[in-house]
A and B are shown apart, each in its own frame.
Chain A
Amino acid sequence: MIKKDVLIIGAGPTGLFCAHQLGIIGLSCEIVDNLDKAGGQCIELYPDKPIYDIPAVPECTGEELTTNLLKQIKPFNIKFHLNERVEDLKKVEGRWHVRTSGKQEFDVASIVIAGGVGSFEPRKFPLKECEKFEGSSIFYSIKDKTVFKDKIISIFGGGDSALDWAIELSNTSKVNLIHRRDGFSGAESSVQKVKELNDQGKINLYTKYQIDSVSGVSNIQSVKIKHDDGETKEFKTDYILGFFGLIMQLGPILDWGLNINKKAIEVNTKNFETNIDGIFAIGDICTYPGKLKLILSGFHEGALAARGCFKYAKPDEKLRFEFTTTSKAAQERLGVKK
């Protein structure tokens, strides 16, 4: 069991800056995130796209913003638990016990949910019948590519993941690549490569087709695809891979008894605490009258929530307001005191 003052759920910009604010006022925290790296939507949705509304930063990309925030919290040596999702929550003698999907357990005085619009999960095929093959012959991500050797693989999607895996697996497997339109969102060089491989007969490319049905008993045997004009084709396949990007789900947080309003958690604007004492919500996941889903609002919310956490972590102490410019304590925590 890891004992800290605060557990932050979500390593997006809001969660990262809240960690900084906790560090400044002398509270310890660790961060859990479902993704494999810090940055949240900035990294997952728009790492290369510019952001123009971070105060005093005229222009930066999602990746640069994340890198700078990580640099800013470096003095606090905060531990990240990536690829993990929070599962259960229990109140034990005035503190919170939280367990993650990776069976990590935390004992904390308060929790800050900075979960964005939820945890990212792969978007799946719309067909109900696909569910029973999931994990055996239908996959939305690849962990071990050797199972596909000498098999027939049908890949759906038109982004980089679909194109890259089609190219990669065409070396060792028979690959069908199916996409709903002629255009692709993946890199142009990959699109060209796929077209070349299609011409050489190493990939069978089907555009303007979408999945229609699958059949098989315990494993997939065949897949039927349907053209925009209604024509269908059915072929044998051993595996089906779907790469349709990620969706965001609130997940187990929904069962914690928090007041939820249109997929967001209701908070007060004094310290961004939820209806449950000791649980705060900041950033895109929280809602209140006048809420703006901007990164800068998330920073403000994080700063106030961090101070809200103080009374739970140190009930016998009083938090004094200080500026980092002049506070010796803050400068010591930042490791900059000369």
Chain B
Amino acid sequence: MAKINYITHDNQTHTIDVQNGLTVMEGAVQNDIPGIDADCGGGMACATCHVYVNEEWLDKLPTKEDGEEDMLDMAFEPKQNSRLSCQLTISDELDGLVVNIPSKQV
């Protein structure tokens, strides 16, 4: 279990307990956090679960698989701290993770 802080574009922080093994995307979708579309359902086949990860957390995240960066090319306003939240699997180490949700996904 980890506490994940989702900061939506209107600057509201939603802190959610997410079970280990789920992804940051699933944590958002299951708890109705607005701004994560996840059109493809977590298959790394779209870029609509895009989040910006707070700098101090970047090193602690699972490394990018082939293909994630390619999909991020298609995200709305990608930055260096962009990730696809469907690729971020929750573990105890991510307790306290802060992700910012972009103003839109498409």
Contact = CB atoms under 8 A, between A and B. Distances in A.
A41 B70 CA distance: 17
Contacts of B46: 45, 117, 247-248
Contact of A185 (B45, B70, B106): B70
Nearest to B73: A158
A157 B74 CA distance: 8
Interface string B69-106: 11001101110100000000000000000000000001
B80 A228 contact: yes
Given A247-B106, A249-B106, A45 B40 contact: yes
A263 B70 contact: no
B39 A263 contact: yes
Given A123-B106, A247-B106, A117 B74 contact: no
A293 B73 contact: no
Interface in A176-203: 179-181, 183, 185
Contacts of B39: 117-118, 248, 263
A292 to B, nearest CB: 9
B106 A180 contact: no
B21 interface: no
B45 A245 contact: no
Contacts of A180: 73, 78
A159 interface: yes
Contacts of B77: 126, 210
B73 A126 contact: no
Nearest to A158: B73
A45 B45 contact: yes
A210 B29 CA distance: 29
A243 to B, nearest CB: 9
A201 B48 CA distance: 36
A117 B47 CA distance: 13
A309 to B, nearest CB: 27
Nearest to A124: B106
Nearest to B82: A180
A45 B29 CA distance: 22
Contact of B69 (A181, A245, A248): A181
Interface string A24-62: 000000000000000001000110000000000000000
Interface in B29-80: 29, 37, 39-41, 45-48, 69-70, 73-74, 76-78, 80
A297 to B, nearest CB: 12
B37 A263 contact: yes
B77 to A, nearest CB: 5
A263 B29 CA distance: 12
A159 B70 contact: yes
Nearest to B41: A293
Among A157, A179, A185, A228, chain B packs the most CB atoms within 10 A around the CB of A185
Interface of A: 41, 45-46, 117-118, 123, 126, 157-159, 179-181, 183, 185, 210, 228, 244-245, 247-249, 262-263, 284, 293
Given A126-B76, A158-B73, 9 more contacts: A41-B40, A179-B73, A180-B78, A181-B69, A183-B69, A210-B77, A247-B46, A263-B37, A284-B41
The 8 closest A-B pairs by CB, nearest first: A185-B70, A245-B74, A247-B106, A117-B39, A126-B77, A293-B41, A45-B45, A244-B74
Interface of B: 29, 37, 39-41, 45-48, 69-70, 73-74, 76-78, 80, 106
14 contacts: A123-B76, A158-B73, A159-B70, A180-B73, A185-B69, A245-B47, A245-B73, A247-B48, A247-B106, A248-B46, A263-B37, A263-B39, A284-B41, A293-B41
